[in-house]
Structures are given as structure tokens and as C-alpha cells.
Structure 1
Amino acid sequence: MTEPAAAPSPHLAAFGPFCAFETHADGSDLTPPWRKLSELAVEGNSALRERVASVRASLAANYGRPPEAVELRVAASVAHLGLVARVISPALGLATLHGLPSRPLTLGDLRWGSALGGAFRLSLPLEAVTPVAAESVRHDCAAGSGTRPVSTLAEDLLAGPVQDLVAAFAPFSVSRHILWGNVASAVNGAATGITAAAPSLAHPARAAALTFLQHPQLRNTHTLNPHNARFTRRSCCLIYRAAPGGAGALCGDCVLLHGRGGAGRSGRGRGGR
């Protein structure tokens, strides 16, 4: 049974709701309201369609529009961004605190309480996320040292759960360029949130984020200004198109901001749906 429990480190909850998580015993029974996140990537399962439909209705309601007025691919992209932000943020929080998961995580490991409007409840296997002793973990771990460096965490996550979510959302006519851009935005958003909550951890948070962003899957999804390290994605999550006439606000990290020449909404890239 999944039991509400504290995250492996009390600091994680202080980083904000997207970094916080509960834990469950590996292989324990699944009980309501908990569901496996892997259900979203099972072909033929209605869970993913229901999630996208719920986000579509929520986006439409924000503007007093009927759900069908919002393009399905817009809702799918926003739903995807919210999900990957929720998966990536705890991992980046653990990396920032040097409490790396002891093994790769799969979508089947992750349990969620489906809800809209922010960070839904998330539970991770206790055995997998019990931190390795901080003194034994370094961001630049040498090969054969017996520890899992952040680069390994990035590879495990991006080639595992995150890639599964990208593949699940691609059939909604959302380009993979946009979907992987959502992932990069989620990484930057997590680091930004951690830095805002704990300025003293800005360096390890940004170092961990940079390791993720240098992964081959994300390398061409964004631009980092060499002078101020400002993050700009090379695609758009499409949320602005939910507004009548496609006149909605742009996110702060959006590539389209340069064309509009104005400020956008928060650039934390959490999706929030």
C-alpha cells in the first residue's frame, strides 16, 4: 500500500510542491487514489485521453470557451509539460542535494494522484530514492567509483520515463521538437524554482540542470545566453493558442517572445495543468 511519507530529505518540500513527493514500499499494493503513471503510456488505455481532455476543458474554461475551441494538440502539449515537470523536479531536487536515486526509475515505479491545477501528488519507491551518503556522491564522479553521477541520472530519466511520455504524446499531433522542448523547459523551471527557494543551492541546482540540458536529447532544444545564462527554448509549448485568436500570454522562456518583443508569463516552465 502507498502510505503518505516524508520525502527522503526534508529540504525537498522546501523547494516547492513540484519537488516534493511521498514514498511507498517497492512492490506494495496499489490503492486508491493512487494510480501508476505508466498507465499514460499504455496504448489503448483511456487514461491519457482523459488527461488531455481534462486539460483541454480547463484551458478553455480559463477563457470562457467550449473545450472544442482549444486545439487538441495545444491541450496535449500543456498536459505533457505538466507531467514531465512533475517527474523531473524531484529528481533535480535530489541531484541538488546529492541524494541521487540508487537505481533507475521507470514510469511503473511512479504513482500519482491525478489532479489539475498544479503539482499533483506523486509517490516514489522508498528503496530507490533513499539518498546515497552525501560525502560519497560528486557531480563529477569518476568511472568505477561506485556512485551514480548526475549524468547517469539524466540518462536514466530521459531515456526512460521521460522518453516514454514523449512517445505517448506524439500521436496527438505534437511534434517531438516541441515535446523535448517541454522537457528542457521543465529542467530549467525546476532549477529556477530550487534557486528561488534556496539561493545558497543555486550552484548545485544549476550544475545539475546543465548536465540534463547537455544530454543529446536536449542539446538542440534550447539556447543558454553565455553572458547571463538566460534560458530560451527553441520551440513553444503552444499554450498561447488556447486564448481566442491565439492571443494568450507567452511563457518567459518562449522562443516567440523575441518576435513579440514583450514580456511573458513566468518562465519556470512547469505547465501547471
Structure 2
Amino acid sequence: MGPPETVAALDDLASLGPFFAVETDPAARAGGIWRPLAALYTDPEPLRRRIVEVGEFLHTDEDRVAASLTFQSLSARVVAPPVAIAALHGVVAPLEPQALYWRPVPSGPWPLWTATGESPWPSVAPSQLVDRLAELVIERHLRPLVDAVRAQVGVAESLLWGNAASSLAAALRLVGEQRPAAVHTARALADALLGYGPLAGTSSTGPAGRFRRRSCCLYYRTPEGGLCGDCVFDEPPAR
């Protein structure tokens, strides 16, 4: 894909929802306080602040609950754009941590920005698409984010990978729902990625294609929380 097509593909992501959007306008980059996403995985201060903000917003004093739900949101944010591009265009967009910038906002998903550049996105053989996408999403984004969150709060690693699986499954389900022509590709990518590396064993898929995780994000432990649609529990555990 050449530069005109890559810009159009990135700009089109916003129509799928705010977790998919990636800004490309140089004026937007110049007009705000943007920080390298790669630094978020190594600098404890922004992540620590976000966990505190999430805890305050949800009125919970349980650090592991705030950390889990912070990770849930951030994992959805970094997973959604590349998996959508892969499902819709059959390529792996160069959305590595060092190529993305984020901007703090009071609530909602953090905005992301990337420079599109003049280089085309290389084509990927269908047989290599899952491996290339997994390298980007799991190894370059999710694994560093898991480590960064666990360095702040001692939340179970398996729980965080369950959150990541939920984020990935939800993103590809939304792609299929909003772009019916890509539904089969999106489902195939979800099935392949959910069996990859640390995501393997974190979930199951029922006969009707219903995704269900094998852990709980702990949202039920917030004052106004309940169970998510893909939760391992049928009823909230006693607190």
C-alpha cells in the first residue's frame, strides 16, 4: 500500500469507533502535548497516574481492580488499530510503540497519532500475516504493557492476558459487525491470535462463536460494577 492508501486506511479507522482512531494530521501533532507510546511502557509515572485516575473514577480503593481496568482500556487502545488494518487490508501497519504518540485526556481512550511518512506498507503473504501481527501486537505492545502494569501493582499476569484476549476479541468482532465483507477474515484472525503465545488458553469460543474468557477483569468489585458479557463467572462472586 502506497502513502495515499495508507493515510486513507488510517483515517478510515475512526469510523469504527474511538478505540480504533489514529490521527495522522501533522497539525494535530503540533497542537497538543503528545508523548511517545514507547515511553509509557518504561516510564512508571504516567501509568501510575492513570491507574490512580481510573480508581478514583470507578470509586474503588482496590489497586488491583484499578490496575486491571486501566490495562483493559490501554490494551484495547493499542490492539484495535493494527488488528483492524490487518482484517480490512491484509497488511501489518507499522504501528510499533516508537511510531505512535499518545495525548492525555481527562476521560475516554487516549488519542493516538502517527506520522504516515512516504514509505509504502510492505505486503505480507497470507501465510505470514498472523505471525507478523502477533509480533507487533503481542510482543511489542501487550507484553511490555503487562510488565509495566505489574511493576506498579501486583495483579495476576494471567488476569491481564485475559483482559488482552478480551480486547482483541472485541476489536475484531466490531470490525466484522461494522464491515460485513471482512467478517470471515476478522474471525479467522481472532481465532489464530487467541491461540498464540500468552493468549493461548485465556479464553474459549462456544458453538455459536461466543467468546468467553477464563478469568475476570474484576469490574464486579467496583461499587457500580457487574459482570462483563464475556466473563468467566455466571454470577458475581461474594465479596
TM-score range, shorter chain: 0.7 to 0.9
Tell me whether 1:76 sits opposite 2:87 in the alignment.
no
TM-score by length of 2: 0.84
The corresponding residue for 1:145 is: none
Q: Cα 1:30–1:177, aligned 2, differ >3 Å: closer, same or farther?
A: farther
Work out the CA distance in 1 between the residues paired with 2:118 and 2:16.
20
| Alignment-derived partner of residue 65 in structure 1 | none
Are 1:195 and 2:176 counterparts? yes
Q: Please, which moves more after superposition, 213-222 or 107-116? A: 107-116
Cα 1:74/1:23, change in 2 over 3 Å: same
- Residues 52-131 of structure 1 correspond to what in structure 2 (within 5 A)? 52-60=51-59, 69-101=60-92, 103=94, 105-127=95-117, 131=121
Indicate the residue corresponding to 2:3 in structure 1.
none
2:14 counterpart letter in structure 1: A
Residues 195, 48 of structure 1: CA spacing in aligned structure 2 closer, same or farther, 3 A cutoff? same
Matching of residue 235 in structure 1 with residue 222 in structure 2? no
Instruction: Please report the RMSD computed on the Cα atoms of aligned residues, expressed in angstroms.
Output: 2.7
- In terms of fraction of residues, the more helix-rich structure is 2
Equivalent-residue separation in structure 2 for 1:203 and 1:129 (angstroms): 29
- Read off the aligned partner of 1:139 and give its amino acid letter: P
Which residue type is aligned with residue 32 of structure 2? P
- 2-side partners of 1:30 and 1:41: how far apart? 23
State which of 196, 221, 231 in structure 2 corresponds to 1:254: 231
2:172 is the alignment partner of 1:181: no
1:115–1:138 Cα change, 3 Å? same
Instruction: Find the aligned partners of 2:106 and 2:118 in 1 and give their Cα distance.
Output: 27
- Structure 2 residue ranges without an equivalent (≥5): 1-5
Distance 2:103 2:50 in 1: 12
Instruction: Kindly indicate whether the alpha-carbon contact (under 8 Å) linking 1:21 and 1:122 is maintained by their aligned counterparts in 2.
Output: yes
Match in the other structure for 2:45: 46
Partner deviation per Cα, 1:50-82 (whole Å, 9 max, x = no partner): 11111111111xxxxxxxx43011011101110
The number of equivalent residue pairs is 229
The code of the aligned residue for 1:189 comes to A
Cα drift, residue 173 of structure 1: 1.4
8 Å CA contact 1:51, 1:79 repeated in 2: yes
Distance 1:224 1:178, change over 3 A: same
Identical counterparts, % of pairs: 35
| Distance in 1 (alpha carbons) for counterparts of 2:120 and 2:56 | 38
Q: CA deviation at 1:24?
A: 7.0
Structure 1 segments unaligned to the other structure (5+ residues)? 61-68, 142-148, 262-273
Secondary structure (helix, strand or coil) at the match of 1:23 reads coil
Determine the structure 2 residue equivalent to 1:16.
Answer: 17
Distance (whole Å) between structure 1 residues aligned to residue 133 and residue 165 of structure 2: 15
Q: Which of 111, 118, 127 lines up with 1:140 in the alignment? A: 127
- Secondary structure of the residue aligned to 1:248 is coil
How far apart are residue 177 of structure 1 and its match?
0.3
Pair 168,8 (structure 1): closer, same or farther in 2 beyond 3 Å: same
In structure 2, the partner of 1:270 is: none
> Would the aligned equivalents of 2:227 and 2:235 in 1 still touch at CA under 8 Å?
no
1:129 deviation in Å? 9.0
Cα offset, 1:47, TM superposition = 1.0
Give the structure 2 partner of residue 221 of structure 1: 202
Return the alpha-carbon distance in structure 1 between the equivalents of residues 113 and 88 of structure 2.
19
Q: Distance in 2 between matches of 1:224 and 1:213?
A: 10
Q: Specify the code of the residue in structure 1 equivalent to 2:212.
A: T
